Structure 1
Amino acid sequence: MPRLPLVSSVDKLEGAAWLDPAAGTVARLVRKALPSPRVTDALHGVPLGHPVHPLMVTVPLGAWVSAAVLDLLPGNQRAAQTLVGLGVLAAAPTALTGVTDFSQLDTPQQRTGVVHQASSALATALYAASWLARNRGHHGKGKLLAFAGLSVAGVGGFLGGHLSYRQGAGVNRNEDLPEEAPAGWHALGPLEGFTVGQPRQANLGTVPVMVLRREGTDDDGVSVLADTCSHLGGPLHEGHLQDTRGRLCVVCPWHGSAFSVENGEVMRGPATAPQPVFQTRIRGGQLEVSLTGSED
């Protein structure tokens, strides 16, 4: 089946370098304005374990679609106006979660994202104008503005879907790890080959892992995590160690996500999915790891 022309146009956004100044400016302003790390993590969706923005989007879009249905039926002017206003009010916190995620995306994703943001802002402005027109008694004009806003919101929603499902913004980069990692126990090399207190990369088959011999522990105090950051795939072994909220963490060098080296828990976003942790044991001086913990 041939693709819609809109799809080909959106594909081109990923390579549209002319969008970089606008995208870069928005990202810098957002990062500068973001509040405390705990609030920022909440905006990313760290407590939920996945981005909160897609959940928030359902409120304004749901309200506006419902208002469109009521606009097509007689005798629902007040209810439609209420739903239009609800959508406008909900658009602000929804946009806040969106730009928070946007500020930590890579360049091709931000090119699509900045157009998505512009579409969403235009849709919100049209709906705000629709509410004002209705409030002044111009319900016919209000309906026209609302249907225009719904069309623009539809384009913005398509861009958001492309950003998530085609470009992978917000997805867990380690979801396929159980299928990729070989089952059972496998040696990564001599334990003495891993320097204490220094993250190192090793390979379990085709799966890169980060190995850390922790300071102040016995020789078997080793943490092994998937080396690919769950946020956007940064190499964790190139990051640094840091105490975050009372936990020893490895910090991704790309966007600053912090993961507990003991259990892979996200201690600071923008990552929302935890980092897979491998079980470890020492046999004959060799460090062995297993994702499943299956027997020999």
Structure 2
Amino acid sequence: MNNQSKLDNVDGVVLTNLKNSKVSKSVSLNKKKLKDIGLFALFVGPVLLAFIIIVLIPFFTGIYYAFTDWNGVTGAIKWVGLDNFKYLFTQDKQFQSSFILTTKYTVVAIILTNAIGFGLAMLVTQTFKTRNILRTVFFMPNLIGGLLLGFIWQFIFVKGFASIGQLTGIPLFNLAWLGDASTAFWGIVIVSVWQGAGYIMIIYIAALQNVPQELIEAAKIDGANRWQILRHITMPMVAPAVTICLFLTTASSFKVFDANLSLTGGGPFKSTEMLALNIYTEAFVNNRYGVGEAKALIFFIVVAAITIIQVTISKKKEVES
């Protein structure tokens, strides 16, 4: 009996120790989880809070105001349902023309910005001494603020081109660049492409530098010319960069505002009023905040749909290539 009681005591001690070890392990795991949660909250919490306050809350309140007749000033808000949207698609001809103009501008800006950006990237990835200086020069316009850049180019179009035209007699410089609807549109395109091509160039440079030189050398040995190398080797290898650049240029072109405001202000006679400027004018100049929010909601849905389709198609082409 004495031996049996001793064994029972030993078993009891062992079980107690096992329970204590399990408890201590669970406590340590809980402390680790709490520590991880605390670190996560410390680093992500402020950003998440700022995102909720600056982005999410205005976004959802804007959706609510799109169905009201609020003027953006008084506290009187009346629910009007889909009346704002019916007005946009049936009576607001300026919104429709701005939408068409923005789509036209976006197509032109995407093509030119990517083509020029890729061309500049091909140029500055060649082996010559001034390539680093050229990279800096081509990228510098992107560092200038949009409004400031627009006012600088406004002076160039109005004063600079007029002076050059008087000295040289070249008809191109004697055009009323910002006073005529057709030339004012191309003036906005020139400024936007000049500013954005340098940023797109940086992305293409990173992609071109990752193209294996062994493939290019092997293609040259096999007798491939520059066009064949560009088409069958370089372009498939930089396809992910093309997807990114198309996404960036699509989003930025649809949302063009500062260049439009500073160069033409939508003139002459609202012939160059892009969609973002039209929304701004409706909400903050005409004090029709509900209608402006309805335009912004439609704008958001269209841009989101187009960018999702563009990324999906580009990704499929990446896989195929």
TM class by shorter-chain length?
Answer: under 0.3
User: TM-score scaled to structure 1, two decimals?
Assistant: 0.24
More helix, by proportion:
2
Q: Which has the higher contact order (CA 8 A, sep 6+)?
A: 2
User: TM-score scaled to structure 2, two decimals?
Assistant: 0.22
Which one has a bigger Cα radius of gyration? 2
More strand, by proportion:
1
